[in-house]
Structure 1
Amino acid sequence: MHDDNAHFAPVDPVRAGLSASCPRCGNGKLFDGLTKLKPRCANCGLDYSFIDSGDGPAIFVILLADLLVVGLAVWTELTFQPPVWVHFVAFGPLAIIVSLWLLRTIKALLVAMQYKHNASQGTIDRG
């Protein structure tokens, strides 16, 4: 895992996740682009090589974005019964925007939680 010898005040993982900032100092940016992690924090120098959020963010995005977008589309269909093109125009871009925002936010939140709880890959002790 990470060898953290620096002295920083604890950062709330939810605040760090929502702001996509460094889980140690809370000031440096976590991402280089949309969802690509930077190699290290520009503020405190924390090496992000220990981070592995895996497929967790994608699973949460699939579940949450589909619930929201499909729920709104079904409600719109049952309430207003618009033509099919209205669904494509309204809910296509909404699905993309919600998915991208959720992916970035949930990935940052899982990284912050991984740092806070000092989580690492499980190993089998055969000693």
Structure 2
Amino acid sequence: MPDDKPAAKGQPPVWRAALFATCPECGAPGLFEGAARFRERCPSCGLEYSRYNVGDGPAAFLTLIVGALLIVLALLLDAAVRPPIWVHVILWVPLTIVAVIYGLRVGKAALLASEHQRQAAEGKLSDDGKP
């Protein structure tokens, strides 16, 4: 789904912020502190990442997708050349780890950038009790 409105000046589009792990406000690199853990705030503009609730939704979804794709590839390789089991272990274990971690980084960064650009916030009730 394309962005409905263009990004504000200095803000990267969601896809660029996700692929390159840049701040959704200023575009500075350094969104993550660890493998898939956000920093507390942007080192350049000071945007607090903790106010966005990305959660663990991408983890389960991406793990299932990556797992399914790699199982298909492993079965195709096995049917084509019948390598020994150690080849499968050496090939697929590191590939799975790298694909899941990179997928988590991209997924979490995309959700954070999307929440920031759309100014998503926790739902609140008005005085009359309606959302």
TM-score range, shorter chain: 0.7 to 0.9
- Aligned residue number for residue 42 of structure 2: 41
User: Structure 2 vs 1, CA of residues 121 and 59 (structure 1 numbering), >3 Å: closer, same or farther?
Assistant: farther
Q: Which amino acid aligns with 1:60?
A: F
**Structure 2 length-normalised TM:** 0.80
User: How many pairs were matched up?
Assistant: 121
Q: Which has the higher contact order (CA 8 A, sep 6+)?
A: 1
Whole-angstrom distance in 1 between the partners of 2:76 and 2:125: 49
Conservation of the 8 A alpha-carbon contact between 1:60 and 1:106: no
**Structure 1 length-normalised TM:** 0.83
Gaps of 5+ in 1: 1-6
The 5 A counterparts of 1:52-67 are 52-67=53-68
Q: CA deviation at 1:22?
A: 0.6
The 5 A counterparts of 1:1-127 are 8-123=9-124, 126-127=129-130
Q: CA deviation at 1:9?
A: 3.3
Runs of 4+ in structure 1 deviating by more than 3 angstroms, as ranges, are 7-10, 121-125
Conservation of the 8 A alpha-carbon contact between 2:21 and 2:31: yes
Gaps of 5+ in 2: 1-7
Whole-angstrom distance in 2 between the partners of 1:123 and 1:61: 30
Q: CA deviation at 1:54?
A: 0.8
